[in-house]
Amino acid sequence: MGEKVFMQGNEAFAESAIRSGCKFFFGYPITPSSEMPEYYAKKAPEEGLTFIQAETEVAAFNMIAGVAATGKRGMTATSGPGFSLGCEAMSYMSAASLPSVVVDVMRPGPADGEILGSQGDYFQLTKGGGHGDYRTIVLAPYSVQEYADFAPLAFELAEKYLNPVVVASDGTLAKMMENVVLPERTSGPERQPWAVDGAKGRPHNDITTCGDGPEQWEAFNLRLQAKYQNIRDNEQRWEEYQTEDADVIIVAFGVYSRVAMAAMKMAREKGLKVGLIRPITLWPFPVKAFENLENKDFFVTELNSGQMVEDVKLAVKDKDRVEFYGRLGGMIPTPVELFNKLCELYMK
C-alpha cells in the first residue's frame, strides 16, 4: 500500500496519475478542473513530467492523442464546455484505438452554465458526444479514494482495450478533501508493438482513421463494435447495498450516491426496505446489476434532468416501475429531501 494523505480530489487524481507513470499532461484551465493542470505544472521538474498549457481543449485532446499514439501514458482534464470541444478528438481517438485518459469534472450546463457539481454530461460521456458509432469507457468515482484509484485503473483499461477512458467526476468531488491511500509507483507499459514511435526493429505502423471505401469502413466499424461488446461483457462495474430484500432500490452514481446512501439509511431506520445500486461504469452501463431483481421499484436520482434514468429503464423488466428525481444548476438535495421524496412516491 502507498502512503495515506489528506488530499483534495483533483490533486489526488493528478498525484495518482503521476504515480501510475502518466508523464504527459496537456490541458486548458477551466473550473472546476484546474487543480490538475496546476498540480502537473508544479510537479513537472521534480518528477520529469511534460506539461503543456494548450491553446484550446481541441489542441489538448489532440496532443494526448499524439502521446497515446507513441504508446506512452498521457492525460487531460477539463469540464463540460471543454469536453464539448474535445468530443471531436474523442471520436478520433476511439476510431484510432488510442489508449488515452480524460477526466471530465462535470459542472452544470448547458453552455457556460455554473461551476458547482453536476451530472449533466452523462449523455455526452456515455452516448458519444462526438460523431459516429463509438464508445468510451466511463468511470464514475464516489470518493476521493476511488477518484485516486481510478487513475491507474483508467490507464489499465485504456491499454487493455486500446480505447479512450473517461473519468467522470464533478465539481463536488473535485474540491472535496478526504483521506486517501495513494497507489504504489508504476512506470507504465513497455514499448507497445502497435505504437508509432519510429519503425525500429519492426515493420512500420500506421494509425489511420480515414475510410477507404464502404466495404473496408464497415469492416473497420464492425471490429470496433466487437471490441465494445467485449467491454460490455467484461467491464460492467457497480456496487449494491441491501438490494435483496428491498422494495425500492435507489439508483445513483458518483459522489451524489453518498446522499442517496444517507437517505437509504434513514429509510431503513424507519423500517422501510430500501436498497441502493451505484453504477461505477456509466458505460458500459451495469445492466447485469438489474438482471435478477424482480418485482421491485426503482428510484433514480441524478444531478440532471434525467439522463441515466433512460439506461435504467432499458435495464429493468418493467420500466413503469422507474421513478426519477433530479436537481439542476448545481443544486444538491439533502438526504432529508431525498428521503421525503421517497416517502412521497412510495408511501401513498
Partner 1 sequence: MSIVYKRPEVFTDEYMKYCGGCGHGIINKVIGELIEENNWQEKAVFVWPIGCSVYADKYFKVDSICALHGRAPAVATGVKRATPENLVISYQGDGDLVSEGMSEIMHSAIRGEKFTVVFVNNAIYGMTGGQMAPTTLMGQHTTTSPYGRAEEFTGHPVNMAEIIAGIPGCYYSERVTVNTPGNIRKMKAAIKKAFEYQMEGKGLTFVEVVSPCPTGWNMKPVKALEWLSESVISTYPLGVFKDLGKEEK
Contacts with partner 1 by CB under 8 A lie at: 24, 26, 50, 52, 54-56, 58-60, 62-70, 72, 74, 88-89, 92, 96, 196-201, 203-210, 212
Question: Cβ 292 to partner 1, closest distance in Å?
Answer: 44
How would you list the strands of the sheet with 274-279, edge to edge?
A: 238-241, 274-279, 248-251, 297-302, 322-326
Residue 66 vs 113, nearer CB to partner 1: 66
Question: Cβ 275 to partner 1, closest distance in Å?
Answer: 45
Residue 26 vs 285, nearer CB to partner 1: 26
Residue 88 vs 235, nearer CB to partner 1: 88
Question: Cβ 99 to partner 1, closest distance in Å?
Answer: 13
Residue 60 vs 312, nearer CB to partner 1: 60
Distance CA 82, CA 104 (A): 9
Question: Cβ 101 to partner 1, closest distance in Å?
Answer: 13
- Per the rule left: phi > 0, alpha: psi between -120 and 50, beta: everything else, 97 is left
Cβ-based neighbour number of residue 209 at 10 Å:
15
Residue 5 vs 44, nearer CB to partner 1: 44
Question: Cβ 340 to partner 1, closest distance in Å?
Answer: 49
| Cis? peptide before 164, omega within 30° of 0 | no
Question: Cβ 257 to partner 1, closest distance in Å?
Answer: 35
Cell of 318: 418493467
Residue 89 vs 316, nearer CB to partner 1: 89
Distance CA 69, CA 81 (A): 25
Q: What residues are paired with 298 via a beta bridge?
A: 249, 322
- Identify whether the C-beta of residue 177 lies closer than 8 Å to the C-beta of residue 144: yes
SS3 call for 296: coil
- Identify whether the C-beta of residue 9 lies closer than 8 Å to the C-beta of residue 39: no
Q: Which residue has the cell 499524439?
A: 66
